[in-house]
Structure 1
Amino acid sequence: MRRRAIAHFSSARAAITRHRQNKSSLEKVASSQSRHGLDWMNFFVADVQEGFGAFVAFYLADLKWSQGSVGEVLTIGRVASALSLIPGGALTDAVRWKRALIATGIITLAAAALILALHPTFLFVSLAETLHGVTAGIMTPAIAAISLGIVGRRAMSSRIGRNHRFNAAGNALTAAGMGALATYVGKSMIFFAAAALTLPALLALSFIRRDEIDHDRARNAGKDQEGRPALQGFTALLKNRQLLWFTCGAILFQLADASMLALAVEDVGRAGSTQSSLIASAMIVAPQLVVAMLAPWVGYLSELWGRKPLLLASFAVQIIRAVLFGFIDSTTLLVAVQLLDGISGAVRSVLTTVIVADVTTGTGRFNIARGAVGLVIAISASVSTIAFGFVAQALGHWAAFLSMAAAAAAGGLVIWFLFDETKPAEYID
Structure 2
Amino acid sequence: MRTSTSAVLLSPLAALAALNLFLADVRDGLGPFLGVFLQEKGWGPAEIGLVMTLGGLVGMAATMPMGALVDASRAKRAIIVIGSAAILAASLTILAIPQFVAVAAAQAVNGVAAAALLPAIAGLTLGLVGPAGFDRQLGRNEAFNHAGNILAAVLAGVLGWWFGLPAVFALLGAMALLGALSALAIPAAAIDHEAARGGSGAAVGEGHESIGKLLREPALVTAAITFGLFHLGNAAMLPLFGQAMVATAGADPSGLTAATVVVAQGTMIPMALVAAWLGQRSGYRLVLLLALAALPIRGVIAAAAVHYGAAWALIPVQMLDGVGAGLLGVATPGLVARILAGSGRFNLGLGFAMTAQGIGASLSTLLGGVVAQRLGYPAAFLVLGGVAVLAAGAYLIGGCPGGTAPRRPVAGPGTAAAAA
Q: CA deviation at 1:298?
A: 1.7
Give matches, 1:221-370, under 5 Å: 221-224=199-202, 229-269=206-246, 271-272=248-249, 278-328=255-305, 329=308, 330-370=310-350
Single out whichever of 210-219 and 279-288 deviates more from structure 2.
279-288
Deviations 1:153-186 (A, max 9, x none): 1211111111111111112221221232233235
Which protein, 1 or 2, shows the higher relative CO under an 8 Å CA cutoff with sep ≥ 6?
Answer: 2
Structure 1 window deviating more from structure 2 (332-341 vs 240-249): it is 332-341
Mapped partners of 1:350, 1:199: distance in 2: 25
Corresponding residue number in structure 2 for 1:129: 107
Relative to structure 1, is the Cα distance of residues 50 and 367 closer, same or farther in structure 2, using a 3 angstrom cutoff? Answer: closer
Tell me, which stretches of 5 or more residues in structure 2 are unaligned? 1-8, 413-420
Distance in 1, matches of 2:302 and 2:47, equals 30
Supply the distance in 1 between the matched residues of 2:101 and 2:378 (Cα, whole angstroms): 39
Q: 1:209 to 1:121 in 2, by over 3 A?
A: same
Give the distance between the partners of 1:421 and 1:121, measured in 2 at CA.
Answer: 44
* Candidates 218, 229, 234, aligned match of 2:196: 218
- 350, 361, 371: which one aligns with 1:381: 361
- Does residue 1:157 correspond to 2:138, yes or no? no
Tell me the distance in 2 between the aligned counterparts of 1:399 and 1:65: 20
Q: Structure 2 vs 1, CA of residues 181 and 323 (structure 1 numbering), >3 Å: closer, same or farther?
A: closer
- Equivalence map 1:17-56=2 (5 Å): 33-49=11-27, 52-56=30-34
CA contact (8 A) 1:41 1:201 kept: yes
Could you tell me the TM-score, scaled by structure 2's length?
0.83
Matched, 1:167 2:124: no
The answer to whether the Cα contact below 8 Å between 2:157 and 2:255 also exists between their aligned partners in 1 is no
Query: Offset at 1:388?
Result: 5.0
Question: Are residues 1:207 and 2:185 paired?
Answer: yes
1:85, distance to aligned residue in structure 2 (A): 0.9
- Contact 1:279-1:335 at 8 Å conserved across structures: no
**Alignment TM-score, normalising by the size of structure 1:** 0.81
AA at the equivalent of 2:178 = P
Q: Give yes or no for contact 1:164–1:350 (8 Å, CA) kept in 2.
A: yes
Q: CA shift at 1:214, angstroms?
A: 1.0
| Paired amino acid for 2:141 | N
> How far is 1:416 from its partner?
3.8
Counterpart for residue 85 of structure 2: 107
Code of the aligned partner of 1:222: S
Q: After superposing the two structures, state which structure 1 stretch, 227-236 or 241-250, moved more.
A: 227-236
In structure 2, the CA distance between the partners of 1:69 and 1:336, relative to structure 1 (3 Å rule), is: closer
Quick check: 2:143–2:273 contact (8 Å CA) kept in 1?
yes
Matched AA of 1:299: A
Deviation at 1:322, TM superposition (A): 2.6
Q: How far, CA to CA, are the matches of 2:271 and 2:45 in structure 1?
A: 37
Q: Distance in 2 between matches of 1:405 and 1:114?
A: 33
- Which structure 1 residue ranges, 5 or more long, are not aligned? 1-30
Aligned partner letter, 1:241: P
Contact 1:290 1:339 in 2 (8 A): yes
After superposition, give the CA deviation of every residue in 1:210-257 in whole Å (9 maximum; x if it has no partner). 112111111112245x79742110112222111111122222222222
Q: C-alpha separation between the residues in 2 aligned to 1:352 and 1:201? A: 23
Give the CA RMSD over aligned residues: 3.1
Answer yes or no: is the 8 Å Cα contact 1:115–1:124 preserved in 2: yes
State yes or no: 1:147 paired with 2:125: yes
Q: Residues 50 and 174 of structure 1 are in contact (CA less than 8 Å); yes or no, is this contact kept in structure 2?
A: no
| Equivalent in the alignment of 1:195 | 173
Counterpart of 1:422? 403
| Greater mean alpha carbon deviation, residues 256-265 or residues 56-65 | 56-65
Question: Cα distance, 1:131 vs. partner?
Answer: 2.9
1:371 pairs with one of 351, 365, 372? 351
Partner of 2:4: none
1 CA distance for matches of 2:33 and 2:233? 24
**CA displacement at 1:340 relative to structure 2:** 1.3
Instruction: State the shift of 1:314 in Å.
Output: 1.5
Pair 1:320–1:264, CA change in 2 (3 A): same
For the 8 Å contact 1:117–1:189, the answer to whether it is kept is: no
Query: Residue 349 of structure 2 aligns to a residue in which SS?
Result: helix
Q: Tell which deviates more after alignment, 52-61 or 76-85.
A: 52-61
2:11 partner SS: helix
- Match of 1:146, SS? helix
8 Å contact from structure 1 (residues 318, 344) kept in 2: yes
Q: CA deviation at 1:50?
A: 5.6
User: Matched residues, percent identical?
Assistant: 31
User: Contact between 2:49 and 2:366, CA under 8 Å: does it hold in 1?
Assistant: no
Aligned equivalents of 1:111, 1:269: Cα separation in 2: 28
Contact 1:253/1:411 (<8 A) preserved: yes
8 Å CA contact retained: 2:291, 2:327? yes
Q: Which has the larger radius of gyration?
A: 1
Distance 1:251 1:157, change over 3 A: same
Partner residue, 1:18: none
Aligned residues: 398
Q: Is contact 1:89-1:367 (8 Å) kept?
A: yes
